[in-house]
Structure formats: C-alpha cells, structure tokens
Amino acid sequence: MAATIKQRFLSASMLMKIIYINIAVFLILRLSAIVCVLFNVEASALQEFLALPASFSELAYRPWTALTYMFVHYDVMHILFNMLLLYWFGQIFLYSSTPKQLVVLYFYGGLAGGLLYILAYTFLPYFRGQSALLIGASASIMAIVVATAIRHHDYNLRLLFIGNVALKWIAIIAIAIDLLSLTDINSGGHLAHIGGAIIGAIYALALNRGIDITRHVNAAIDSIASLCSRDKSAPKVRRHKTKKTKTAERKAGSSSRHDGDSQSGNTASHDGASKTGNSARTDGRLSEEEQNELDTILEKLKRSGYTGLTADEKRRLFEVSRKIK
C-alpha cells in the first residue's frame, strides 16, 4: 500500500504533487486532532506549529511557517474548494507555462500573501495589537488564478447554473470579494488573497513582455539538482596503500638513473593524450551555463515564437545550435 502511494506520487505531475501534499497534511492534522480529543489532549498545537503568525517577532521564532502555512487546511470545505480551484486553473495555467513555473509561482503567491498579512497586522491601526494565525493555500492559488486569467483572459469556464464565464471576470469578482471583505471575521485570509493576486498579476504581465520572474529560482534549483545527481553518480575510488620492500626501492633508484629518455617520452605521450581528450570533451558539447541559456531561449521560443526573441537571443541561439551540430 505504502509503495503504491509512493509510486503514484513520484509519477504524478507537479500540479498533482502539490494537491497530494495539501491533502496529506490535511489528513494528518484531522487524524491527529481526533486522537488528541479521544485522550483529552489539546488538539490545536500541531496546527499552530505550522500556521503563520501575524507579527515579525513571532515569525523570527518560527521561520518555517512562512512555507508550511500554505499547505495547511483544517476544514473540509476549505481544502475541497481550494484544491478544485487549483486543479482547474492549474491545468489552464500549464497551457502556456511550465510545471516548474507553476511550483515557483505557488510559493511566490504564498510568500507575498503572508508578507502582506503580517504588514497589515503590524502597521494598520485596525489590525494592530490583534493576535492571529494564517493557514491555507488560498494566497498561492490566487496567484495562479490571476496569472491564468491575465494570460488566458478570454478562456471560458462553464459554471453550474451560470454557464460560460470568461476567466478575467472570475478573477475580477474574486478580487472584489476579497476587497469588500477586509473587515470581516476572516480579514487576514482576504489580505493574503490580495497579496497572492498581486504577485500573480506581476508574473503574468512580466511574462507577456518576455520576462520570467521565476527563472532565477528555477535555475538555482536545477543547478542544485544536477550537483546532487552528479555526486550520487560519481564512483567511489578506493586507494590501497602498499609497502615498498628494500629490493623495490633499490630497483626504483637504479631505474631513475637510467630512465631520462623514457621519462621524457612518457611525458610527451601523456601530454598528447590529455590534449586529445580535452578536445574530444569540448567538441560538440555545451557547458552548464550555455545549456541553461539555451533552455531559457527555447522556453521563450515555445511561448512567444521566433519573432518574440530579441536580436541577441537569436544570435545566441544560432551560435549554440552550430556548436552542437
């Protein structure tokens, strides 16, 4: 059973992995709460351990909550609505963006929502002095919703009892609801939604101009992943120490007196071999920096077409393509 779940998770898309993680955290929290209630133990400790506090001073003692809170749900309707929204808009988002961009934007939206939430509780007089905790993936999902609505604004979704509605109107209505609800009981959540919406709009508008704000994070992740895979695949070499006998030492000493010509010949042969090996390595292969640059240009080519490339990008694409021929 555990092996099947692990295999299904590993073979799932990045979008489904995010959904699976949210569901797993939800189940752990609910089951642990049931156990705590049965044994008359405080059930909210684990949820509070993962939730984002409303002040920078508390965040300094629990910095992990800036990431963990965006995977925490406790109410069934909360996670059900969030995961359905993430799945629907995530599928459309992937029409024009990559799974890596989806993952990074998910975290960007959560971080932006959490930052706006803490800033509001720190500086706005209405929230100042209040103690609150933030949970839920809504800010992260709002970033994906708004980015998708801007990139595919005329795409229609068929809603029950309503009919076809363009994505842009769904995003506009969602943002309007959050703005009008800033002073209700879930004011912190609505603040986080607005923070996620802002970062989603920034991502989409920048991408329309050919700028990917997730590029540097993805490049760093790729570098770390390639470094880790290289370390794992590198063979371990064992070095055995040998003891020289007196006879061997005498032979080595005598050979060193008469091997001047052979040593110079060996040096020449080794040098020739190393030069040949180096030329073989560099001929037709790209460095890691060139490969990353080529991947970035190809991603932009897929999104915007050849006409969307700058003159410098076209030149680099031509140079690199000639090199790998």
Residue 272 inside a domain? The answer is: no
Mean of per-residue pLDDT scores for the chain:
82
Question: What's the number of domains the chain is made of?
Answer: 2
Indicate whether 161 and 305 sit together in one domain.
no
pLDDT in tens, 39-87: 888 878 888 999 999 999 999 999 999 999 999 999 999 999 999 999 9
Indicate whether 208 and 324 sit together in one domain.
no
Residue 247 inside a domain? The answer is: no
The pTM (predicted TM-score) of the whole model is: 0.71
Q: How far is CA 257 from CA 95, 245, 247, 249, 252, in A?
A: 73, 19, 16, 13, 9
Domain boundary among 197, 217, 237: 217
Indicate whether 189 and 305 sit together in one domain.
no
Indicate whether 290 and 163 sit together in one domain.
no
Residue 227 inside a domain? The answer is: no
Residue 267 inside a domain? The answer is: no
Indicate whether 76 and 167 sit together in one domain.
yes
d(CA 282, CA 303): 31
Residue 250 inside a domain? The answer is: no
d(CA 62, CA 35): 25
Residue 21 inside a domain? The answer is: yes
Report which residue type is found at 50: L
Contact 74, 30 (CB under 8 A): yes
Predicted confidence (pLDDT) at residue 118 exceeds the cutoff of 70? yes
If we measure between CA atoms, which residue out of 189, 146, 192, 190 comes closest to residue 169?
146
Per-residue pLDDT averaged across 266-276, rounded? 39
Domain boundary among 195, 217, 239: 217
Cα–Cα–Cα angle for 148, 154, 155, rounded to 5 degrees: 65
pLDDT of residue 231: 67
Burial track 160-184 (b if 16+ CB lie within 10 A, e otherwise) = eeeeeeebbebbeebbeebeeebee
Burial track 246-257 (b if 16+ CB lie within 10 A, e otherwise) = eeeeeeeeeeee
Indicate whether 78 and 170 sit together in one domain.
yes
Domain boundary among 217, 235, 266: 217
Indicate whether 188 and 313 sit together in one domain.
no
Residue 168 inside a domain? The answer is: yes
pLDDT in tens, 214-257: 999 999 998 888 888 776 665 555 554 444 444 444 444 444 44
Predicted confidence (pLDDT) at residue 278 exceeds the cutoff of 70? no
Residues with Cβ within 8 Å of 144's Cβ and at least 6 positions away in sequence, in order, are 86, 89, 90, 93, 102, 105, 106, 109, 200
Residue 321 inside a domain? The answer is: yes
Question: Percentage helix, strand, coil, to 5, in the chain?
Answer: 70, 5, 25
Question: How remote is the C-alpha of 131 from its chain's centroid?
Answer: 31
| Three-state DSSP state, 239 | coil
d(CA 13, CA 134): 28
Q: Give the domain CATH number at 100.
A: 1.20.1540.10
Report which residue type is found at 286: L
Domain that holds residue 136: 2-217
d(CA 88, CA 150): 15
Indicate whether 56 and 177 sit together in one domain.
yes
pLDDT of residue 233: 60
pLDDT in tens, 124-142: 999 888 889 999 999 999 9
